[in-house]
Structure 1
């Protein structure tokens, strides 16, 4: 399976994650976020960046998850109805942090908070299977500025 990560060129070859808090991890918990398509990766970035930041040069890393790799899944039925609301991020962070702590799998599939029935794939860079993930290509990526007006 191929997944996609959009980031600046500096971080394009790095799948460790930043360790900064996000919807599925608390501050200090390293987790790499990827998406099931370039389009979803784009939208996931757009919701977090202002229109000036979109003018930065970006890259998209195309990452291969081996077919035989086990993937833990969190589904919408595992989450409260309002899980996408910012005030509920703590619950998602607790689930993601617990997944990292449990150390059962290298990949976690989670629902996208912005596109219903689409998925993001998170990586645990400390898991032994992390070495099996492969960046197969790094492509230039440019946001079309019509996506987000100033």
Structure 2
């Protein structure tokens, strides 16, 4: 399986989850390292776009294509068991708890969660502390240019 991650140039060679560990996110609390990836380039683009003010086109981004071996067991979050308001912003404690438990239990390498932005699309959260972390392969790291129309008013 190939998953994708967009990141600033200075982090293009780093897959550590440290950024999410320092700031937290929808699926993790501050203090828990996790690597956010998406099942498509388009979903990666949407994830960056919703966090960028209108009128500002993100610059200096790179797209990382990551190969996760097919034999890796993936835990899938049950959409029906998520809290009713799981898509809201700011992120609610209920979704953070799901990701924190995933990291702390360390039973699975990847947690598949629904995208809060694009219905029926999925993000894949990678636990950098899992024993299988060395099995992933970075397929490519390439410069990524956003289309200005995504950020126009």
Scaled to the shorter chain, the TM-score interval is over 0.9
The Cα RMSD (Å) is 1.4
Partner Cα distance (2:90, 2:52) in 1: 19
C-alpha deviation, 1:85, in angstroms: 1.1
TM-score (norm 2): 0.92
- Take 2:57 and 2:75, find their aligned partners in 1: how far apart are those partners? 32
Deviation above 4 Å: which 4+ runs of structure 1? none
Deviations 1:78-117 (A, max 9, x none): 2123210125521000110011011101111000001111
- Asked whether the 8 Å contact 1:64–1:136 carries over to 2, the reply is yes
The aligned counterpart of 2:16 is 16
Give the TM-score taking structure 1 as reference length.
Answer: 0.94
Out of 107, 124, 127, the position equivalent to 2:127 is 124
Q: CA deviation at 1:32?
A: 0.4
1:106 and 2:109 matched: yes
**Does 1:86 find its partner at 2:89?**
yes
Distance 2:90 2:151 in 1: 24
Q: Is the deviation greater in 54-63 or in 38-47?
A: 54-63
List alignment gaps of at least 5 residues for structure 2.
none
Gapped runs of 5+ residues in structure 1?
none
Residue 55 of structure 1: SS of its match in structure 2?
coil
- Measured after TM superposition, the shift of residue 49 of structure 1 is 1.6
Q: Does the Cα contact within 8 Å between 1:24 and 1:89 map onto a contact in 2? A: no
* Count of equivalent residues: 150
Distance 2:58 2:117 in 1: 22
- The residue number in structure 2 matching 1:38 is 41
Q: Is the 8 A contact 1:25 1:97 kept in 2?
A: yes
Is the Cα–Cα contact under 8 Å of residues 58 and 140 in structure 1 kept in the other structure? yes
